[in-house]
Structure formats: C-alpha cells, structure tokens
Amino acid sequence: MDELEYPTQQPAGNYHAEAGALQYQLENIDTVERIERIIKGEVPFFDKLGNLKWKKAFNPMINEKGVSMIRGYLTMYLGGTKTYALSDLKDQYISDEVIDIARNIKAELMDNWSEYEVKDYAAASFIINIVASAVHAVLKKGQDATYLKFLRTTQSIQEVQHHQSMGRGFNQPSDEKQGLFNMIFGRKKR
C-alpha cells in the first residue's frame, strides 16, 4: 500500500495529548507551517506509524519571499491566537477582519506578482482563500466569548470534582483551615 493512501487527519484521542487540549486549542503555529508547506507545493500524509510527513507534489505557488509575506499575515492572527480565542469578538468584527486580510493579501500578490513569482491567478486565489479561512477559524474561537465561557465551565467542573474527591462539599473549608481558625480564635480540641 502506498504511503499517500493513509488519511490526512490525526487519529482521534491522542493528538497533542502531551501538550494538553487547552494549549492545542490556543496555539495554531502548526497551522501556519501547514499553510506554508502547501503553498510551497507539499502535501501532508501520515506514514504507517501515524507520523505526519510531507511530500513534494507540485510546483510552489509563490517563491520564498512571497511565502515570507504570507507567514507575516498568518502569524499576526494565528501566532496571537490566545488573544483572539480568549476575546469577546462580534460577528461583524470577524467578517471585517477576514475581508481586510483577504484584500491585503490580494493587493500584495497583485502589486508584487513578478517579485513573488506568483504561479497564476488560480494559485493567488487559493492562497487568499486558505489564509482567509484560517484567520476566520481562529477569530471564530473568540466569537461572543464562547471559548472563555467554555473555559470557565470546565474550570468550575474541575473544582467541583476536586472538592468531591476530597470528601467535602464545594464551599466547605478544609480541615487545615478549620484547624488554623480554631488555633487562632477558637477553643482547644479535647
């Protein structure tokens, strides 16, 4: 069986498990690298052991200088994902930002067509779409503070579970706190 026949999605359950689910959700540097590689003409695949690999499949859509320009735009949004994901963004703001970045990249590509050695109009359109889609996905994490609400709920559940595992109610003070309080203000235990 050829290596390229394996799916291009990580198996569910253990991808980035060592970094933690929260860190994986907040950081998208992998996305920047993936987009760069695709623009350079590489395609992702997984080998028989499940490791992500890249293989040259077609000619680059733009040269290294153009890729560097795209990286700059991507890092501005995807590198600072924590800021966006932990924000309270409105849908109109998200739409405006995605339109702005698409227009800016279009202008960059058109103004520097020869300098960036843009392959053709289809390549330019693909680059604009892939960057705009990635930025849209990142900004949607922060829409209406949904991600913040999720984090607060998750933290509350963990706190309740921790207190229940300690054998006391959520708002009951621990024995150490009761002991310290009694030592300072209370009666001696008999």
Name which of 15-19, 54-58, 114-118 the model is least confident about: 15-19
Are 73 and 157 in the same domain?
Answer: no
Are 118 and 102 in the same domain?
Answer: yes
Are 57 and 116 in the same domain?
Answer: yes
Helix (H, G, I), strand (E, B) or coil at 152: helix
- DSSP H or E run through 52: strand 52-56
Chain segment 58-72, per-residue pLDDT in tens: 999 999 999 999 999
Residue 187 has pLDDT above 60, yes or no: no
The reply to whether 132 falls in a domain is yes
Are 111 and 168 in the same domain?
Answer: no
Are 18 and 77 in the same domain?
Answer: yes
Tell me what pLDDT residue 49 has.
92
The reply to whether 190 falls in a domain is no
Range of the domain at 56: 3-144
Tell me what pLDDT residue 180 has.
46
Are 139 and 158 in the same domain?
Answer: no
23 vs 64, higher pLDDT: 64
CB within 8 A of 115, min separation 6: which ones?
65, 66
In this structure, is the dihedral angle defined by the CA atoms of residues 54, 60, 65 and 67, taken in order, positive or negative? Answer: negative
Distance separating the N- and C-terminal Cα atoms of the chain: 76
Residue 104 has pLDDT above 90, yes or no: yes
pLDDT confidence bin for 12, thresholds 50/70/90: very low
Are 99 and 155 in the same domain?
Answer: no
Are 65 and 16 in the same domain?
Answer: yes
The reply to whether 128 falls in a domain is yes
174 vs 90, higher pLDDT: 90
Are 29 and 81 in the same domain?
Answer: yes
Chain segment 36-88, per-residue pLDDT in tens: 999 999 998 999 999 989 999 999 999 999 999 999 988 887 765 566 666 67
Tell me what pLDDT residue 105 has.
95
Tell me what pLDDT residue 137 has.
83
Are 175 and 116 in the same domain?
Answer: no
Greatest mean pLDDT among 13-27, 134-148, 166-180 lies in: 134-148
Total domains in the chain come to 2
| Last residue within a domain, chosen from 129, 144, 159 | 144
Using H for helix, E for strand and C for coil, what is the string for 33-48? HHHHHHHCCEEEEECC
| pLDDT average, residue stretch 116-131 | 95
Residue 112 has pLDDT above 90, yes or no: yes
